[in-house]
């Protein structure tokens, strides 16, 4: 197993469990990648075409040297959205939420592609950060937002190790999906 640089949080077990749904030669986006812990996981597992995007790419510098990885510095909350529609067949999002970007996020996924998403939800504010409701999903929110455009492959919410309150989903974009408007 490849050793990780200091101060990189181990990967999410949810992502690790469901990653095999994304084929290794598909283009995959690690959105708001942070330290790139899921890009590193994908490299360990032999993924060939990974894009790691974040507004702050300082913790991705070593990954930018890998042939399999493209690092993109971008503001996901500014305009325009940095990715063309249907650019990726897999997307990973963890510990990041920006609701106005949701329709663009789904549009970035190719029909048949897989989104793996996990972040904090309501109730987390009693346990620790984040406490800002803008960063906390409401009960069932990921399912509600994705259902019109995706087959829901797996969904989980509630107390998690930490302790924390988290919500997680795996969704496959429908092949006959029309332009997302959520
Ligand atoms: C809590 S970290 C999560 C990082 C990573 N997904 C993980 O789970 O390890 C949130 C990330 O979102 C990034 N971020 C915040 N606002 C952003 C923006 N407007 N555009 C792009 N990235 C942003 C931060 O730089 C940070 O790396």
* Residues whose CB falls within 8 Å of the CB of residue 62, separated by 6 or more in sequence, listed in order: 5
pTM of this structure: 0.95
| CATH code of the domain in which 112 resides | 3.40.50.150
| pLDDT (tens digit per residue) in 82-114 | 999 999 999 999 999 999 999 999 999 999 999
Which residue has tokens 């986006």? 29
- Closest approach atom of ligand 1 to CA 78: 19
Q: Is residue 7 part of a domain?
A: no
Which of 29, 78, 96 has most ligand 1 atoms within 8 Å of CB, for mutation? 96
Q: Is residue 3 part of a domain?
A: no
Which residues face 94 on adjacent strands? 118
Q: Which domain holds residue 133?
A: 13-173
Number of domains in the chain: 1
116 lines ligand 1 (CB under 6 A): no
If you measure from the C-alpha of residue 96 to the centroid of ligand 1, how many angstroms do you get, rounded to a whole number?
6
Which residues face 171 on adjacent strands? 115, 152
Q: What are the two backbone dihedrals, phi and then psi, of residue 130, each rounded to the nearest 5 degrees?
A: -75, 150
Range among 7-11, 65-69, 77-81 with highest mean pLDDT value: 65-69
* Angstrom distance (rounded) from CA 88 to CA 106: 10
Q: Is residue 152 part of a domain?
A: yes
95 lines ligand 1 (CB under 6 A): yes
Cis peptide bond upstream of 59, omega within 30:
no
Would you state the pLDDT for residue 145? 97
Whether 60 and 120 have beta carbons less than 8 Å apart is answered as no
């Amino acid at each position: 197993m490849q050793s990780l640089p200091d101060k990189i949080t181990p990967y999410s077990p949810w992502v690790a469990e469901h990653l095999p749904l994304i084929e290794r030669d598909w283009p995959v986006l690690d959105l708001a990648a942070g330290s790139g812990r899921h890009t590193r996981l994908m490299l360990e597992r032999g993924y060939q075409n990974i894009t790691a995007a974040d507004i702050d790419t300082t913790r991705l510098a070593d990954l930018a040297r890998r042939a399999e990885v493209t690092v993109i510095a971008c503001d996901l909350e500014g305009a325009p959205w940095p990715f063309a529609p249907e650019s990726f067949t897999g997307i990973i999002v963890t510990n990041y939420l920006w609701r106005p970007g949701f329709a663009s996020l789904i549009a970035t996924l190719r029909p048949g592609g897989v989104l793996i998403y996990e972040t904090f939800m309501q109730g987390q504010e009693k346990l620790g950060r984040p406490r800002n409701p803008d960063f906390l999903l409401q009960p069932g929110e990921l399912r509600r937002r994705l259902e019109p455009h995706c087959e829901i492959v797996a969904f989980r919410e509630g107390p998690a190790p930490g302790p924390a309150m988290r919500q997680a989903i795996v969704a496959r974009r429908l092949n006959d999906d029309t332009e997302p408007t959520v």
